[in-house]
Amino acid sequence: MKAVVALGGNAIVGKERKASIEEQFYATKSSMAGIVKMIENGWDIVITHGNGPQVGAILLQQKFAKDIIPPMPLHVCVSLSQGQIGYMIQQCLANELKKKAIKKNVATVITQVMVNKNDEAFKNPTKPIGPIYGKEEAEQMKKNYIMGKYGDGYRILVPSPEPISIVESGIIKQIIEDGGIAIAAGGGGIPVVAENGMLVGIDAVIDKDLASEKLASQINADALLILTDVEYVYLNYGRSDEEKIEEATLKEMEKYYMEGNFPAGSMGPKIKAAIRFLKNGGKEAIITSIEKAWDAVNKKAGTHIYK
């Protein structure tokens, strides 16, 4: 079985999004347990991951150092975050595999993702990145960034265009077919557009789950496993009448989605990705917590969506 496993950003930095590199390494190592069990049991794996907290931090580093070193644009910051997080996952996974005496090559593929330069998202930035700021700090940052309300605070908002295709899908598929493990499409991939037949980076952050679906479809994965901070998808989440979804058909999930059950800034993109994956030929989409990854694969936890 071939699966794309999408790790949520909170898996590495926590909800406060201000973890030190030591804390990020520890969290990354902890998130590998379920993935290693999948590999141990014969699954072919591609790992994707979020980068909202990290790319936001890198962007701020550019801002504060601009008088010393020329700042890098957002699409380059996305590539930097791919290298940073890919390195952590690559090292932690390789170490865990070594403990199990599993001989597998692990490689991070710096991944570009085609988008449409005329995508409406460029006119309406909605993707939150970086840490959460207080009201006073956010007011100061409005001089340089678009800020949006996020929980009890504020975060930087950037464009989030739709992914069209994964540029490096061929080599990622080849790594899997050769028995390796690929870490790819990190942070939704580096957004690029075509200009006169050439690839050019563009400033945006693509939704990680939608890019993961695009990759899963292009490499003909059997399953899309989306790992987040809740064990199940819920209807009426956080209300007294909330109801967990253990199994649902594609048709049922489409109905729930169209009824507005899943917020755009939370579960919405994950459900959208699951729906697209199944429509594009995937066999199963699973959404669960990182801690329950292996249980979910064995149908003992998580929300399972089928055709």
10 Å Cβ neighbour count for 219?
A: 22
Per-residue pLDDT at 143: 81
Q: Where are the domains of the chain?
A: 2-221
Which of 32-36, 50-54, 65-69, 164-168 is predicted most confidently?
A: 164-168
Query: For residue range 156-202, what is the model confidence (pLDDT) as tens digits?
Result: 899 999 999 999 999 999 999 999 999 999 999 999 999 999 999 99
Confidence of residue 16 (pLDDT cuts 50, 70, 90): low
DSSP string, 242-300: -EEESEEEHHHHHHHHHTT-S-TTTTHHHHHHHHHHHHTT-SEEEEEEGGGHHHHHTTS
pLDDT at 205 over 80: yes
Confidence of residue 263 (pLDDT cuts 50, 70, 90): confident
Kindly list the catalytic residues.
9-10, 127, 208, 270
Report, in angstroms and rounded to the nearest whole number, the Rg of the chain calculated over CA atoms: 19
Q: In angstroms, rounded to a whole number, what is the distance separating the alpha carbons of residues 228 and 223?
A: 16
Domain 2-221: give its CATH architecture: 3-Layer(aba) Sandwich (3.40)
Average pLDDT, integer, range 259-280? 93
Average pLDDT over all residues of the chain: 92
Query: For residue range 73-101, what is the model confidence (pLDDT) as tens digits?
Result: 999 999 999 999 999 999 999 999 999 99
Phi, psi of 169 (to 5 degrees): -60, -35
Query: For residue range 22-37, what is the model confidence (pLDDT) as tens digits?
Result: 988 988 998 999 999 9
Average pLDDT, integer, range 220-245? 93
